[in-house]
Structure 1
Amino acid sequence: MCRKCSTGCPRGMVKVKDCTPWSDIECVHKESGNGHNVWAILIVTVVILVALLLLVAVLMFCRRIGSGCGGNPKCMHRVFLWCLGLLRGPGAEDNAHNMILNHGDSLSTFISEQQMESQEPADLTGVTVQSPGEAQCLLGPAEPEGSQRRRPLVPANGADPTETMMLFFDNFADIVPFNSWDQLMRQLDLTNNEIHMVRADTAGPGDALYAMLMKWVNKTGQDASIHTLLDALERIGERRAKERIQDLLVDSGKFIYLEDGTGSAVSLE
């Protein structure tokens, strides 16, 4: 005998199951249904909070380990792989651990070595530490005869040094970096106002260094020497430009090195 399905639940109850050929609708009290929802939300919230706490703990731990690397890229890479293994699970952790072992010693040993290295300078107070280059300079043989180091440049065949230097002003613009032009001219005692005036009167920016060097020669006269220019380049940290200018002058045959202590000149061509 068939029964009609109920059309709804009594007051204070909610439907949790529809009518079927074998059973009527099922109703439960509202408090009971809400209770299930509350528990589900609570469980999900707790799981999310625990996961976030674990993530924060792992990140803080990895940051603490990474601080012992002292900025060493190799050490930081190992820390990253190890922490990545912690975040991705046991399998990934094993893989990361194997990668660390394949690249050298264990993480803890490497970090300990980095910490010892960072502490060594503090333990050497009062002790002069020499680099390999300095030791070689002190223990190595004297410079061979004919070395260019610290030898003054003089014009070949007794030419005028200022006039000969001015022949190369156009080349200097291709050697000295553009951003160092103003700084170089300040080292050569040109004022900021003089630099701005020269730049304003120059047709193109590429000709500015030539014009400023000519202003320096006109202002300084015979005191404007190639050595003053080279020393100024050294002071502003343009040692590479200084060396290239020296090579240019000597290779041109217009300048030669004055041999130390003899008063005679020597050409390096």
Structure 2
Amino acid sequence: MRSALRGAPRRRCLPLLLLVLVTKTALGAAAAVALDRRDKVDPLDPSRGGEEFYQVQDSDRYCKKCPAGTYVAEHCKEQNGSSKCLPCKDDEYIEYPNDFPKCLGCRTCREDQVELSPCRAISDTQCACRNGTFCSPDHPCEMCQKCRPRCAKDEVEQAPCTPHSDRQCRPFTGTFSSSSSSLIMTIVLVVGAVVVLFLLSIFLWKRCCRRSPGDGRDLSGKSCSVVDYLLRRLTRYQSGSLGTQDNVRNEQFCQDRLLPRLPGSVTPSAPGLEVMGPTSYPRRNLVPVQGKDPVILLRRSFDIFAQGVPCKDWKRYGRALELLENDIALAEMNDKFSLEPFFQMLNTWLNRQGINASVNMLLETLHQINLGGIAEDISSKLVQQGSFQYEVS
């Protein structure tokens, strides 16, 4: 009987406990929904404090915020109305919608900074550290710090210096990347090519402008152009023994001009050539061969003059022919690695002289500038060519 009485109150309290638990759960769910709704504020609802509106101080009235680049000059008069907005001045800015009573002042870059972009109404001045300095964006930039000038000998550069970070170095591992190896290979090839070309040019220059111990040739009186030297070599091979005799005669002329001689002395000459004193060059005039146009023959002789007169004497020769400095300059505008400038100078001289031009005038001018040996050499070649013949006295 007692046990039955003791269990009866417990059975009556069980529904009450269940009711309390259900009520508590429902209230918790309702509170969570309310909190969730409160967090989701409509930005266009001024009563909920939306982002597009602001509440006027000491008032229940809401006004629309002014757009970026403007400030609130006067609050709205009616609820949810638009405020009076005025643009920022030249040295002011606001970069987002606001309810500020005035704009913000623009930033001025420091002396250790450079200006990336100027201040505008919707953005502040953008500054950055100068080259070789940096300022970490994770810390207040009160002063730009100098970057490391270079990595250590046992390190390689991983990232260069930037306005926002220092130079990054890592230990040298002993291996090169493909880009580094290709760059080094390119540099080696370029340097090697330059060295080879330099040595080749020295070799050809020595062959052209220095005495050869094997055959005793002295070409110092001739042009030292590599192209001219190759042209002379080709002409010698094509002309055979005749070219050899001409070379011996040219060498003797160069020695006559360079070696000092006493009056009455005789300079050793090549076989078949009798070399006398300074008066050893008989000046015999040339006349065109019969049956051919003298002007055409004169123009054809320009090739012999161009190959015979040294390049270093051509300006002096042109002035002796009474060419103007402008004429010489215009002729030099042609290809300097060929004989074209010489042809242009002689053509200009021919046009100036007209009917008075003659091959003897060209030869006499060579004698006047102390190139008599070259003049006699050219005379001999013109006769051998069959274009001119010696005048019978």
Q: Same fold (TM over 0.5)?
A: no
Q: Which has the higher contact order (CA 8 A, sep 6+)?
A: 1
- Bigger strand fraction: 2
| TM-score normalised by structure 2 residue count | 0.28
| TM-score normalised by structure 1 residue count | 0.40
- Bigger helix fraction: 1
